[in-house]
Amino acid sequence: MSKSGSKSAPRSKASNADGISASTAKLRLLKKLRCTLNFEKRAWAAGAECVAGVDEVGRGSLFGPVVAAAVILYRNDDPAHRIRGLRDSKLLPAERREDLALLIRRHSIAWAVAAVDSARIDQINIYQASRLAMLHAVQQLAPAAGYLLVDAVRLDCELPQQPIIHGDALSVSIAAASILAKVERDRMISAWDPVFPMYGLASNKGYCTPHHLAALREHGPSPLHRQSFSPVWSAPIPQEVLGFMLDEPAPEVVPGDEEPVEAIAET
C-alpha cells in the first residue's frame, strides 16, 4: 500500500492532538475558566435563599472513602465575609487549600462534610457513592439549603438544583465545597499512612501512581482499598483482612437503618 493510502495509528485515549495526557489537558482547560458568583447571583435573583455549592473528592482514588462537602456562602459576596482566591481545589497547592478551608468554615453561613467508605463504594459503585456522599452533606446543612449548585451531577432530592460541568472551576460555592472536601479527605487518608506505609498514602492520597501500583503488586490490597477498582482486584496477592474484622460478629441489620456515613457539620 502506498504511503498516502496507509492508515495512521489510532491515538491513545490518554492523549490528545498535542500529545499530552487527558489529565494535563483537563488542567489546562480548568486554568482558563473563571470562578465567579454568576451562578449564585442568578439563583438569588430568581428568589432562591441559602444557595449551596456541592462537590466531591476522591472519585478516582483506589483507597479509602469518597468525600463530599456542601457550602452556603453569604449572599452577594458580603464584604465582611468575602473569601478571595476560591477556585477548583485541584488548581491550588496544599497549603493554600488549608488556609482557604479555615476561611470557608469561618465565613460561610453553613458547611458540612460527609464520606462514604470503600466497602459501600464497592457495593453501589463509585458514581452512586459520590452522589450519596454529596446528598448526605447537603442534608446536614443548618440552616438548610434552598437551592443547589452541584458539580456535574444531579442529586436524588426534591431541592431545586443546577448541575454544572466543571462547576468547581466556575462557581465559587462549588469551589469552596471542593476545597473543604479535599482538605478533609487528605487528612483522612494521611492518617492511614502509618498503618499502611507501603502504599505511600501520605503523598499519593490513594490515587493511581507508579509507586502505589507497584505496592499493590508486591503486598496486595489493604482492607481499605476499593476492591471494585481494576488495579485492586487484579493485584496478584489477595486483599488483606484486618484481625478485628474476623473476630467481630456481623452487625445485626435493622430495617430502616440508614447506611453508615462519616460526617462533620458546622454552621
Most confident of 25-29, 124-128, 234-238: 124-128
Q: What are all long-range contacts of 43-51, with beta carbons under 8 Å and residues at least 24 apart? A: 43/147, 43/149, 43/162, 44/75, 44/76, 48/146, 48/147, 48/160, 49/146, 49/147, 50/109, 50/110, 50/141, 50/143, 50/144, 50/145, 50/146, 50/147, 51/145, 51/146, 51/147, 51/148, 51/149, 51/173
pLDDT band at 9 (very low <50, low <70, confident <90, very high): very low
Place 157 in a pLDDT band, splitting at 50, 70 and 90: very high
- Specify whether 202 is located in the same domain as 126: no
Residues 89, 145, single domain; the answer is yes
Q: Are residues 220 and 155 in the same domain?
A: no
Are residues 240 and 153 part of one domain? no
Asked if residue 116 belongs to a domain, the reply is: yes
pLDDT reported for residue 250: 45
Please give the average per-residue pLDDT across 11-36, as a whole number.
67
18 is a domain residue:
no
CA–CA separation, 221 and 186 (whole Å): 19
Residue type for position 233: W
Confidence (pLDDT) at 24: 72
SS3 110: strand
Is 207 inside any structural domain?
yes
**pLDDT value of residue 254:** 41
Q: Look at the chain and report how many structural domains it folds into.
A: 2
Contact present, 211 and 204 (Cβ < 8 Å): yes
Look up residue 133 and give its three cell numbers.
Answer: 456522599
In this prediction, residue 80 has a pLDDT band, given cuts at 50, 70 and 90, of confident
Q: Is the pLDDT of residue 15 over 70?
A: no
Query: Residues 225-247: pLDDT tens digits?
Result: 999 999 999 999 988 775 544 55
Q: In this structure, is residue 161 part of a structural domain?
A: yes
* Residue at 28 is within a domain: no
Asked whether residue 47 falls in the same domain as residue 162, the answer is: yes
Strand partners for 113: 69, 264
Worst-scoring range by mean pLDDT, 23-37, 47-61, 63-77? 23-37
Same domain, 188 and 204: no
Q: What is the mean pLDDT of the chain?
A: 86
What does the block give as the cell for 242? 484486618
Residue 212: CB atoms within 10 A of its CB come to: 23
pTM confidence score: 0.82
Same domain for 239 and 143: no
Average pLDDT value for residue range 133-148:
98
Q: Output the domain CATH number for residue 73.
A: 3.30.420.10
What cell numbers appear for 9 in the block? 495509528
Domain span including residue 66 = 33-192+261-266
Residues 103-117 have a mean pLDDT of 97
Do both 163 and 238 map to the same domain?
no
